[in-house]
Amino acid sequence: MAYDIRLMKLVTGELAIGKYDAEKDCLNEVAAIQSIPTQQGVQMMMLPYGYPFESEFSGSIEGKSFLYRYTSTPKELQDKYIEACTNLTVAGGLGRMQFSSEPFGGSGSGLIK
């Protein structure tokens, strides 16, 4: 089943991502996106909306709380959201994978040994 995963800016100024329900105009299984400055740049972190009081991705936000609706959600962000919600890793970039004959990947991806 394909989900319509969308990124929204809320009236509180927060960025939220979730499964968009067009009939109810709401985001379900919402995650808050936080940016953390590091020496290498900015790292994005996804937490269940309402964390630490909510420990699962089960919340819902109504459309009246959306300040801005992004027209497209980056694929990388959608993959991170799916990984965070399901605890599964989404295979990405398989076309760019490099394989190596060295025991632990060498210059390859390290996924196939």
pLDDT tens digits, one per residue of 22-66: 999 999 999 999 888 888 888 778 888 878 777 888 889 999 999
Structural element, H or E, at residue 81: helix 75-86
pLDDT at 99 over 90: no
Query: Tokens 């919600």 correspond to what residue?
Result: 85
Percent of the chain with pLDDT over 70: 78
Using CA atoms, how far apart are residues 2 and 105, in angstroms rounded to an integer? Answer: 33
Q: Which two tokens stand for residue 62?
A: 């109504």
Query: Which range is most confident: 25-29, 44-48, 86-90, 103-107?
Result: 25-29
DSSP 83: H
Q: What's the CA dihedral at 54, 87, 77, 96 to 10 degrees?
A: 170
- This prediction's pTM: 0.72
Domains in the chain, CATH or no CATH each: 5-73 (2.30.30)
> For the chain, what is the mean pLDDT?
79
pLDDT at residue 2 above 80? no
